[in-house]
Structure 1
Amino acid sequence: MSGGEFHVHGAHEHEVEHHAQHGPGLGQSVAIFTAILSTVGAIVSYQGGATQNEAMLFKNEAVLKKAQASDQWNFYQSKSNKGHLMELAADMAPADKQAHYQKLIEKYENDKKEIKLKAEALEAESAKANEESEHIMHPHHRLAQAMTLIQISIALASITVLTRKKWLFALAAIAASGGLVLWGAALFA
């Protein structure tokens, strides 16, 4: 300040006075907007990764159960082959040995029934895990779309600061709104 009639403002004082009279400028609004969107984007990205990982775990479980079922079916085939060999042996064996082979044939038939039940149960578990994986992946696609719109919105907001075109900021807000709607749809799906 100087004496008398003149009052000299510094650049900082002028800026503070301008903000007091006119509110925050476009740059500050865009900065707050992008900071909020970056935070939301981080949450959406985390949720997308988490759903993808969970879906992969179920998919791995489905593959494991399918492999175990395949092992059981191979075991079933092995018992079936042994049963056929015992039938052949019974046909070729003398009458006093045929009863022994008939018992073995019955044993293999009973073994096959148990093995078949295990294989079918494992196939059902595989199908269930596969369905669960597909169910969990459904929101992932919406989360990925939401994240894309949020990233587009941040890019448009950045261009707004450079060009000072407020219509770009409005477009950024529309893209952000679309991203938020998709995020909500993914959460409540």
Structure 2
Amino acid sequence: MSGHGFHVHGPHDHELEHAAHAKGHGADGLKGQLAVITAVLATIGALFSYQGGATQANAALFKNDAAIKKTEASNQWAYYQSKSSKQNLAELGVSLLPEGERRDAYRKEIERYKAEKDDIKAKAESLEKESVAFDRQSAEQMHQHHRWAQATTALQVAIALAAIALLTERKWLEWGTLALGGVGVVLGGLAWGHV
């Protein structure tokens, strides 16, 4: 014990001092750091996972819209074909009938069918363009989804590496955890930037 200037250490004092010093710098410090790193990576990973799911859902919706527009365009082309068939029959009537009122009526029908076909064709082409645009948006969303999935996977592997670092108490594995977590964050940044 201590008196006036004289201090005697007990047999366990040195071990307590060493444990207190190691707590800030050794395995216990590593455990604390890994706990914080794991919590941060898990939080970022959860956000990335949400974004990945959202972009996948958007891609499916855009693909569905593309299919709907393609079907509408197909319907318009079928309508266009029916008008073409009617126009062809009217042209046949003009060529088979002698000059007269019926022949003039068929000529008017031919002109009407031509005008109707132009409108139908324009609408069908417009619907096809919309379908292509929705397909493009779907592809962009799927690309972004893959980036989010890559980022999430990198973070999940980093968290697993943190668990191994914690169990083995290897400092270099903690650095590996940070490096892989950094890769995950960079991939998430690319997804965010639509790259």
Give the partner amino acid of 2:94: A
Partner of 1:141: 146
RMSD (Å), alpha carbons: 2.4
Q: Is 1:27 matched up with 2:31?
A: yes
2:184 maps to: 179
Q: Work out the percentage of aligned pairs sharing the same amino acid.
A: 46
User: Any idea what the Cα deviations from partners look like across 1:74-128, whole Å, max 9, x if unmatched?
Assistant: 1001100111111112222343221111111111111101100101111111112
Q: Which consecutive unaligned segments of at least 5 residues does structure 2 have?
A: 1-7
Q: Secondary structure, in 3 states, of the residue corresponding to 1:95?
A: coil
Structure 1 residue 71 and structure 2 residue 72: aligned? no
One-letter amino acid of the counterpart of residue 71, structure 2: A
Q: How far is the alpha carbon of 1:52 from its aligned partner?
A: 1.5
Q: TM-score, normalised by structure 1?
A: 0.85
The match for 2:118 is 113
Deviation at 1:129, TM superposition (A): 1.7
1:19–1:134: structure 2 CA closer, same or farther, 3 Å change rule? farther
Q: Distance in 2 between matches of 1:121 and 1:113?
A: 12
Q: Which amino acid aligns with 2:93?
A: A
TM-score by length of 2: 0.82
1:100 is aligned to: 105
Aligned pair count reads 180
Verify the 8 A CA contact 1:19 1:25 in the aligned structure 2: no
Counterpart CA distance in 1 for 2:118 and 2:29 is: 78
How far 1:145 sits from its partner (Å)?
A: 1.1
- The verdict on how the C-alpha distance between 1:42 and 1:19 changes in structure 2, with shifts beyond 3 A counting, is farther
